[in-house]
Amino acid sequence: MSTTTIQDDINQVYATQQSNQFGTQRYELMFEPGTYNVTVPVGFYTEVVGLGQSPTQTVITGGGIYANAAWNGGNATENFWRGVENITIDPSSGSTEWAVSQADPMRRVDIDGNLVLDDDTSGNTTSNWSSGGFISDSIVTGQVNSGTQQQFLMRNDQLGSWTGSNWNMVFVGSTGVPGQSFPSPPDTTVSQTPTVDEKPYLYIDSSGNWDVFVPSNRTSAQGVSWASGNTPGTSLPISDFYIATPSSTVAQINAALASGQDLLFTPGVYQINGTIDVTNPDTVVLGLGLATLVSNSGDTILQTADVNGIRIGGLIFDAGTTNSSVLVQIGPPGSSASHASDPTVLSDVFARIGGATVGSATQTLQINSDNVVGDDLWLWRADHGNSGTVGWTTNTAANGLVVNGADVTMYGLAVEHYQAVQVQWNGNGGADYFYQSEMPYDPPSQSAWMDGSSDGYPSIAVASSVTSFQAYGLGVYCYFDVNPSEVSANALTSPTSSGVQWHDMVTVSLGGTGTIEHIINGTGATVDSGSTVADLTSYS
């Protein structure tokens, strides 16, 4: 294709998607190996990927690849649902802008020059906020400037340097990053990533065949997986995959899965009637272009057996108008098999209750299997959306994440606005690296939002039976704009045990709108209209 044709295609997609926050269009821009002198702005529901086995094989020069918030006056707090993977960004300006919030993964990216994580081009210097973010397995040769980012996670990255902080910056298994210094500045640094599998990705091999590469599990890892050449792992031919389109039925999908095929969702919105059953070990379920699965029947959209090595990545799960008791279930209740050597991994898995459509689900994600790894999850009960899709009695949802399995590990966990405990952690041996959560904005009264006799609900509740749990870098915020007198007694609750350890916690009353009395178990200062930020370095 000519450069002009490529640029025209890019411009047409962006014109549609720049402000299309709750629309139904989905796009994947794929660049075959080579060098392209183009400019690639990334809008909603758009993924930009290179098709080499290594990110160094596909290079974008010219204006590079970027996300700004010009559509929203420079405010990037609603820049959701987009991504960049497996590509080199080498802009002529020497700087890349990635002004994003939740559900905007940047993976396997090689950035030549500097990286700015807020909107520094739209001219807004007073409300150009940004909130959240996730970059993994990437190299930035220059400086990363976090700008207005309230919180961010860098996992297994290699940076020239880092500057900036606000409330909760977390670095796991990365180099060139700040040392541990929470809360001043609020940097939490863990030198190695205990266990992780990088996300599977499409590529074109040296013979011109399409394949999906499935990276191997890494333990005690630091830096990128491709530092010494190709990422270790396994290539699967595209013929191994059932390629789904929005017209595919659940019966067709399940028949393919039962026969041993993997599953690739092409970009689109899928109305799901019934439940997708992933029963075979090491099955890959991969979405392109933020493929979105909507529950039409109140059933669980996707459930897995208690088997090794299932890989689920790049999907949005939307609740439907009929309440689902569980929207996504990993392992059946009572699962107990060990998967330590070959864990199930959820990469860029996002869920919504309301927003695009009216939705309801009691539990959004229930994890029953052991050794599951979550890598960039945003579970969101919508606080805004299309007309009529949000409200205290409209998009109802009690819990975002319920962990029943043992030895479950999370990186980049964001769970927001649920109406009861947002994360209920019942399994032993769990760990969470980075947590972001806003309490629900909209409790109409204190009596409507009570955890028994306690004011409000904690964002994370670790069960009293848990004897082993670790958490690093947690931010819990409130903004009770419907009833500013609303109070939550604790942001977090857990048993008091030497085996249950919390590291680097922050609470914020956004704009002083509402009160969180304590950070954890009655410990930690109050945040309210008088004092809006509180920190606690450790609790056990």
300-334 pLDDT, tens digit each = 999 999 999 999 999 999 999 999 999 999 999 99
Is the CB of residue 52 less than 8 Å from the CB of residue 22? Answer: no
Is the CB of residue 162 less than 8 Å from the CB of residue 147? Answer: no
Nearest by Cα to 169 from 131, 205, 125: 131
Structure tokens at 138: 């990437």
CA distance 478 to 488: 9
CA distance 103 to 290: 10
pLDDT tens per residue, range 152-202: 999 999 999 999 999 999 999 999 999 999 999 999 999 999 999 999 999
Residue 165: is it exposed, middle or buried by C-beta count within 10 angstroms (0-12/13-18/19+)? Answer: buried
pLDDT tens per residue, range 376-423: 999 999 999 999 999 999 999 999 999 999 999 999 999 999 999 999
Structure tokens at 487: 């109070």
DSSP state of 444: S
Give the distance from CA 434 to its chain's centroid.
Answer: 11
Is the CB of residue 491 less than 8 Å from the CB of residue 451? Answer: no
Q: Which residues contact 270 (CB under 8 A, 6 or more apart)?
A: 244, 246, 248, 291, 292, 293, 294
Residue among 47, 97, 438, 486 flagged as catalytic: 438
Nearest by Cα to 473 from 103, 165, 182: 182
Band of residue 132 on the pLDDT scale cut at 50, 70, 90:
confident
Question: In angstroms, what CA-CA distances link 109 with 52, 59, 96?
Answer: 12, 10, 12
Q: Assess whether the previous peptide bond of 440 is cis (omega < 30° from 0).
A: no
Domain range annotation of the chain? 3-177
Nearest by Cα to 316 from 262, 246, 268, 372: 268
pLDDT tens per residue, range 223-244: 999 999 999 999 999 999 999 9
Q: Is-catalytic flag, 97?
A: no
Other C-beta atoms closer than 10 Å to the C-beta of 520 total 23
Average pLDDT, integer, range 4-25: 98
CA distance 485 to 359: 28
Question: If you search the block for the tokens 């890349």, which residue do you land on?
Answer: 96
Is the CB of residue 496 less than 8 Å from the CB of residue 521? Answer: yes
Structure tokens at 323: 């309440």
Tell me the residue type at 58. T
Average pLDDT, integer, range 271-278: 98
Nearest by Cα to 291 from 236, 246, 330: 246
User: Which region, left, alpha or beta, applies to residue 352 given φ > 0 means left and ψ of -120 to 50 means alpha?
Assistant: beta
pTM score:
0.98
* Average pLDDT, rounded, for the chain: 98
Tell me the residue type at 16. T
Is the CB of residue 165 less than 8 Å from the CB of residue 147? Answer: no
CATH 2.160.20.10 at 3-177, yes or no: yes
Residue 111: its pLDDT value, please? 98
Structure tokens at 17: 């998607």
